[in-house]
Amino acid sequence: MRYLYYPGCSLKGTGRAYEESMLAVFQALDVLVEELPDWNCCGATAYMAVDELKAFALAARNLALAERMDTDTPPADLIAPCNACYLVLNKAQRYITENESIGNKIHTALAAGDMTYSGGVHVRHPLDILLHDIGVERIKTAVKKPLEGMRVACYYGCQIVRPYATFDDQYNPTSMNQLMWALGAETVDWPLKTRCCGGSLTGTIEELGHRLSFILVKEAINRGANIIATSCPLCHFNLECYQKQWQTRYHDDAHMAVAYFTQIMGMAFGIEEKRLGMRRLFVPPAYIAAVS
Amino acid sequence: MDFRKAKRKIKYESELDSHFAKEIVEKAGCEDLFHCIQCGTCGGACPISAYMDYTPRRIVAMTREGLKQDVLESYSIWLCASCYSCAVECPKQIKITDIMYALKQKAIEEGRYPRRFPVTVLAREFFKSVFAKGRNNEGILMTKVLLKTNPLKIFKQALLGLKLWRQGRIGLHSDVIQNRDELRKILSALD
Amino acid sequence: MPISSENNGKIPRIGVYICHCGLNIASVVNTQQVAEFARGLPHVVIARENKFMCSDPGQDMIQDDICEHKLNRIVVASCSPLLHERTFRKTAQDAGLNPFYFQMANIREHVSWVTLDNALGTDKAKALVAAAVQRVQSHEALDSQQSPVNPAVLIVGGGIAGIFAALVIADAGRKVYLVEREPTIGGHMAMFDKTFPTLDCSACILTPKMSDVKNHPNIVLWTYSEVEEVKGYAGQFKIKVKRKPRYVKEDDCVGCMLCVEACVFKKPRFADEFNLGFSFRKPIYMPFPQATPPIVLIDPNQCIQLTKGKCKRSCMNVCEKNAIDFSMKETFEEIEVGAIILATGYQTFDPRRIPQYGYGKYEDVYTSLEMERFTNAAGPTQGKIVRRNGETPKSVGIIHCVGSRDKKNHSYCSRVCCMYSLKLAHLIKERTGAEIYNFYIDMRTPGKGYDEFYDRLLDEKIHFIRGRVAEVTDWARRPEEEGKLVLRVEDTLVGIARRIPVDMVVLSVGLEAREDADEIRRQFNISCSHDGWFTERHPKLAPVSTTTDGIFLAGTCQGPKDIPDTVAQAGAAACEALSMIDKGFVQLEPNTAHIEENRCSGCRVCIALCPFSAITPSENGLTSTVNEALCKGCGTCVAACPSGAAQQRLFTDEQIYQEIEGLLSYV
Amino acid sequence: MSETDVNNNDLHLFEPRIVAFFCNWCTYTAADLAGVSRLRYAPNVRVIRVMCSGRLDPQFVVSALRQGADGVLIGGCHPGDCHYQEGNFKALRRYKLLKRLLRTMGIEEERVRLEWIAASEGDKVQRVMNEMTEQIRALGPLCLTPIPQPDFESLQEEVLTVVREEGGVCHG
């Protein structure tokens, strides 16, 4: 299996641990992943607020690059691990192929840069690849250190299943839970698994953004979780990095390990900590010691 | 409570903009604006409606009736975090998130957004950085946003920044794509 | 069968009539121009306009012209022939003209209502008129056959609609076969406790009707039975009914229930369908105490004798009437009826399709139908409203429009939910004193005494919160929310988001077409709307008829409606059926096929094609002949006949060629 | 009239004439429903009512094309829904043969279209009418040029195949 991989800006920055652990996990499962050369920013939420067409054009350039790359096995599957990139690339794909006037404008714009895009790329999330292409059975065989005693709150965030539920249920996604079960971990019933973490509001309107992520962590604790698994660099950042600030802000303790689901998989696969970017975490999972 | 602060709330037809709704409904994703039955599912589903000056439902109603100024100057549209909860639950399948985007674009177009409001500053800084470099550096972006909105906060977040830097998660080196010309040509073609 | 008529001169004298239909046609089609155009067509003697051709003055005009101008062909350009063809044929007939010297041009449904541009619309109307004028010239006088009507009626479905229709027809002295799939009649109404807005007891008004059905000499009641096959046509339907085995002889069982007592299963342990699984029954059971007919049956999937073949058969031993018979097999009945009334009802929306409401996940979330059973004194809790943990709820949220007015589920309004939610709110308040919150999008209470009932509920200090609930969750944000179900909603009248903790949630589920509505539709050859409701012939003027003659609709199989409307419609359907029976015959459209012997080569292509086996070789085998009593007039044999010997009346090759030519003659 | 309007008119100068044969029970009723629902569509299609799509003699189509129709639309009930059990299947078989025949005659086969439209599908009537009109408009007017000599032998073979399929005995 060979996939193209679109990292997006965050996986080269605050979300480096996500990239490192994901690549390590794919390698452990013998899946070839090749980074899309010269990719650019996906367009993201903030861009869309200023100029939607240009946001689509940014996304379209990436899709066109991907299409150009993978001529031997079309249509190309492009992995987008960041939830926001995943949504924006998918949304652009839909609008370009389904809305004639937007499609025409984007095609003209691409032509200005000597590029074309015929609409054949599949934008996919690593959760989707792991569960549907690789499968729970294959993952189970790779587990070396079952994660007994780990009670995971699986946090999907908003933009994987909304608004386009292509590989999981829109209201009650379970793909990450299934992966966690395969690793020998338990998952907790946590009704907030797709509730918004606050996104970029944590950096702009702190009071609001922080409260949104704070209540997520708080409720995960109430539900008996001992770790939160994330699938998006921004969600991860929000849930993880402000825990200390919440103490002063809310006079309430919400302290919990937060790790990318790929890091947790890597732990179960027995991959060394360094390759999983564990040292880049604020709250190292308490079980690392117990497991390794 | 100061009752002398009572202000006129009534709207006269001459104060409304009858073209506003038509402009919005023509934007991509906003086609169903007029299908809204004002049930409030969006306001109930929205995790941020608790903080909004007008709930998404009221934004839709006000947009339809041409309360352009109130809509574009409300901070509700800037609070929307694009989590799409409203859009997937709307019984009329109205893409409310896209309507919020359209309103944000309109507000920027008309220069009606709060200048030092972090959300809009973030959007513009992001826009500039991507145009120049093709990618975005979170550390630099946040520093710029803080500088332009509330420089004092930089000190408050310095500790966090330092920690992230030591973990190798932010740096001052900015990633740049090779084919910047190609990208600029594409983006400029849409002007 | 062409007949000679004094008025059918060899040379056509055509009258053309253009209807304005008020402004329906005239606002798009320039009728004056069309009339002017028609006057220029060959053989057109007169062309006139009228505001409403179907009105008395309009029809009088045609009749006067027939006499005065010796017209022998009539063309009316107005609405769809499916609507008024019969009207105008009769007009012609009453003036002494053979009714089939008539042709209609559909310039309303096919022109004015679907065309934006007036000039293009007028052109299209002209083309359609030209086609009709040209076609009508080759019309021939025909004699329409009458077919006798069997005076018995089949009613499918034994809910309140079927029950009421059956009683009306039986009281008029006609025979009724009432076929019900379940072991008892009564339908959904039997499950309710009270009916809105009068709050009279549902069972008290329904059960007497149920026993009337059972005791009526003119009604044959077949429960636990299904229609297997439908053949024939209006007036002469042949029906095959499958009767599922109850393993209890219907004629012998007296409903004493000793067998149930004696069953080897000492405790009831199987989910009771009538109480929606909230109570239990044995493999041998009576659906509910007032079940009609009041006899027991055995569930073959649960009874040990029937699944494993060995049991003490204590039920059999205790039955003094020897009514239990494990060897019973399904049987078939064949009947002939003249008319059919479909009263197959509805099913309720499954709220699992809206996972945010937590049905199936949180134990104190119920559907409204389940709540009907709880409020019912004969229900699983003897009328007590309690949570699963046995406590009386202190607060209850009722969510309206569950599955209705929702594009992802049903975009229509289910019509009854507002009212039954009010009723449930009242009953719950009365019995528990709980705080009741109704969450609605719009309150819809049109009906006699309905809005007054709403007033009464307001007076009872029930909360009415205008807002569609986004989510039911057990996630507590505040101490008062701990252990409760929290409804997150925007209170749209106040304009803010709210979180309201309650002990119990009732989902007012909408009505939807039954799962197998599509199969039934095919079986009876009628149409369904997109939502699966059976389609009436005309939404205003033929609300209980279908496009298939002799088949009528009653109750919710046609669309959501409450009990009064259902009963009214059942009465209407019964009267339509009776009217057909009392007339004694149905007028058959003379559109049957026939074969001109001297042109037939005897190739027999037509014989293999005929779906009704109406064509047979003639005695000498050299030609084929059509048995016109069996022919239904599809014309497929005509289309296939290589020599043009087969022809269909009203749709001859010549007539269709003329219509094509006329249609294209106007550029 | 503004300049753009003139241009638009130029583009739309060719108004195709299309004849439709609709079955009484499903498609004609659906067309009535489209009317009752006020669904606007192109005025180019004119409908002839037949009781069943199985009544449709392929010669009707040929005759319509010969007399100036630019396209022909045939509408019947969905498979399994025929009022006469299976008339629509017969229409389908004849339609397939007809298309082959048209090809031989040098007529674009897209000019003839068969659609299953149920009585409840007023919106489908609107869509099909518009699509058909645009398709024929794109094809341009039907010009019946001298017919290339058909391959009679294979045509005869095809006809015989279909006759056999229909289950009849051909007395040659």
Tell me whether chains A and C touch (3+ CB pairs under 8 A).
yes
Tokens standing for A122?
């599949």
Complex ipTM, two decimals? 0.84
pTM for the whole thing? 0.87
D-chain residues near C121 (CB < 8 A):
43
Residue D170: predicted pLDDT: 44
Chains in contact with A, counting 3 or more C-beta pairs less than 8 Å apart as contact: B, C
CA distance A191 to chain C (A): 7
Residue B175: predicted pLDDT: 79
Between positions 204 and 263 of C, the ones with CB within 8 A of D are none
Q: Which of D52, D95, D129 to mutate to test the interface with C (most CBs of C within 10 A)?
A: D52
Tokens standing for C610?
């005929």
Mean pLDDT score of chain D: 85
Handedness of CA C199, C204, C205, C207 (dihedral sign): positive
Residue of C nearest to A170 (CA): C355
Nearest by CB to D52, from C113, C528, C634: name it.
C634
Nearest by CB to C474, from A169, A172, A191: name it.
A191
CA C529/CA C518 separation, integer angstroms: 10
Chains in contact with B, counting 3 or more C-beta pairs less than 8 Å apart as contact: A, C
**A213-244 pLDDT per residue, tens:** 999 999 999 999 999 999 999 999 999 999 98
User: Is residue A100 packed enough to be buried (19+ CB in 10 Å), middle (13-18) or exposed (0-12)?
Assistant: exposed
**C241-296 pLDDT per residue, tens:** 999 999 999 999 999 999 999 999 999 999 999 999 999 999 999 999 999 999 99
CA C95/CA C143 separation, integer angstroms: 16
Q: Cβ D166–C609 below 8 Å, yes or no?
A: yes
SS3 content of chain C, % helix, strand, coil (to 5): 30, 25, 45
Of the candidates C2, C5, C14, the residue with the CA atom closest to the CA atom of residue C137: C14
C-chain residues near B41 (CB < 8 A):
467-470, 490
The residues, any chain, with a CB within 8 Å of residue A246's CB and separated by 6 or more, are: A210, A214, A217, A252, A254
CA A80/CA A83 separation, integer angstroms: 7
CA distance B17 to chain A (A): 22
pLDDT in tens, chain B (191 residues): 777 888 888 999 999 999 999 999 999 899 999 999 999 999 999 999 999 999 999 999 999 999 999 999 998 998 999 999 999 999 999 999 999 999 999 998 898 877 667 777 888 788 888 888 888 888 888 888 888 887 777 777 888 888 888 888 887 777 788 888 898 899 889 88
Chain C positions touching chain B (beta carbons under 8 Å): 356, 401, 405-408, 441-442, 466-471, 488-492, 495-497
CA distance A172 to chain C (A): 8
Residue C237: predicted pLDDT: 96
**Of B120-134, C299-313, C470-484, which range is least confident?**
B120-134
DSSP secondary structure string for all residues of C625-655:
EE-TTT-----HHHHH-TTS-EEETTS-HHH
Q: Cβ C442–B37 below 8 Å, yes or no?
A: yes
Handedness of CA C451, C452, C453, C455 (dihedral sign): positive
Residue type, D74: I
Is the model's pLDDT at C446 over the cut of 50?
Answer: yes
The answer to whether A191 faces chain C, any CB pair under 8 Å, is yes
Average pLDDT over residues A94-105: 92
C-chain residues near D17 (CB < 8 A):
664, 667
- Of the ranges A19-28, A32-41, C604-613, which is most confident? A19-28
B-chain residues near A208 (CB < 8 A):
48, 51, 79
Q: Indicate the SS3 state at residue B173.
A: coil
Is the model's pLDDT at D11 over the cut of 70?
Answer: no
Residue of C nearest to D69 (CA): C664
Residue type, B78: W
CA B57/CA B60 separation, integer angstroms: 5
CA C100/CA C102 separation, integer angstroms: 5
Q: Cβ A204–B139 below 8 Å, yes or no?
A: no
CA B63/CA A171 separation, integer angstroms: 29
Residue of A nearest to C482 (CA): A222
Alpha helices for C490-562 (secondary structure H): 517-524
- Confidence at C357, pLDDT banded by 50, 70, 90: very high
C-chain residues near D31 (CB < 8 A):
109-110
Average pLDDT over residues C103-116: 96
Q: Cβ A48–B118 below 8 Å, yes or no?
A: no
C-chain residues near B89 (CB < 8 A):
356, 470
Tell me whether chains A and D touch (3+ CB pairs under 8 A).
no
Residue D105: predicted pLDDT: 84
Q: Cβ B45–C471 below 8 Å, yes or no?
A: yes
Residue of B nearest to C400 (CA): B39
**D65-119 pLDDT per residue, tens:** 999 999 999 999 998 888 888 899 999 999 999 999 898 888 999 999 999 999 8
